[in-house]
Copies of this chain bind each other. A is one copy, B any other.
Amino acid sequence: MTQKIKKIALLTGGGDCPGLNAVIRAITKTAIVNYGMEVIGYKFGYRGLYNNDYVSLTLDSVSGILHRGGTILYSSNKDNLFDYQVEENGVKIKKNVSDIAVENMKKEGVDVLIVIGGDGTLTSARDFARMGVKVIGVPKTIDNDLASTDVTFGFNTAIDVATEALDRLHTTAESHHRIMLCEVMGRNAGWIALESGIAGAANVILLPEIPYDINKIVKKIKDREDNGREFSIIVVSEGAKPKNGEVVVSKIVADSPDPIRLGGIGNKLADDLEKLMPEKEVRCTVLGHIQRGGNTSTFDRILSTRYGVGAVELINEGKFGQMVCLKGNELSSDSLENVIGQKSKLVDPEGELVKIAKKIGISFAD
């Protein structure tokens, strides 16, 4: 490393996710304890970078946050500085304000920017790298759908929450001989439904990647009844869709500021099933935002800590423009240039986990 790094900044962008605080803590501790760096955190993602709105991060300010969900730096889903909405002469226009951001960093003497975020946030990170900014990326996706890393923090906590919900629904389903649907996150990738479905003893799992045939669901329920099981548990990804291609709630989901709230496919499917099986009681629960928050799981705390330390080590090794990632069980890295634009890591309908699920009798209604 030719030039000594004295001051680093970090920011969190996109939807919050359990583990963000653990990453912030690990970065701050590693940078201060090992390399005597100064650390600041921009607030609300790129917006803080634009407004030069930041807090100093010290050993004190990251104390007691390891287990807490959310992000002490706040986050924003919307602010892309390469296409920022500003008001000029009373008119709202889109404008590239990334120069101002770079100026702000220089003014504060920030040598390196660590960006923690999902696909959108990291795309801007790459663009800053192209402008010559020393950038390090940390991947964040609660849906676990980034191709460039095997597993990311937040996902394990989310399936813990979903699995506990399925455990709860089981007792009611059994007591009342009901069909219980549970809609979980996953608009494009069905990992949360798949893993929580296996862990939560679901009978049917519906994923965006495997369009469903509602008659197959009905058949599975009836087969169970023939074997004396008068209740069934169905896990539905919010992005699940019927086989005939009609994407039931696509317009609402696309337009809504709160697609999770509207749910839709779960409740729609509950209605459909009740029509096909009028003698059964069908109920639906849309888990929604409780999947994102609260205490971070043990697994995610460790994973986040590894990512955080790994990010600072990349700085120490002078590997700018890289994103820290996990390959198998090993910390590794990849260039942001490679990472951006890769297709999402979807559930493979022929992959091991789907096969495992089928072997123990779970139906995907395909």
Contact = CB atoms under 8 A, between A and B. Distances in A.
Interface stretch (A29-37, A92-100, A210-218): A29-37
Contacts of A274: 257
21 contacts: A16-B176, A26-B360, A33-B359, A33-B360, A69-B168, A69-B171, A70-B171, A156-B299, A160-B298, A169-B289, A198-B301, A198-B302, A199-B305, A257-B281, A260-B283, A261-B270, A285-B286, A285-B287, A285-B289, A285-B290, A313-B359
A201 B74 CA distance: 20
Interface stretch (A130-138, A235-243, A326-334): A326-334
**Oligomer copy total:** 4
B150 A294 contact: no
Contacts of A88: none
Given A163-B298, A289-B285, A175 B71 contact: yes
Interface string A81-95: 000000000000000
Interface residues of A, number: 94
A161 interface: yes
Contact of A359 (B30, B199, B201, B288): B30
A309 interface: yes
B167 A294 contact: yes
Contacts of A164: 294
Contact of A34 (B227, B288, B359): B359
A176 B76 contact: yes
Nearest to A151: B329
A328 B331 contact: no
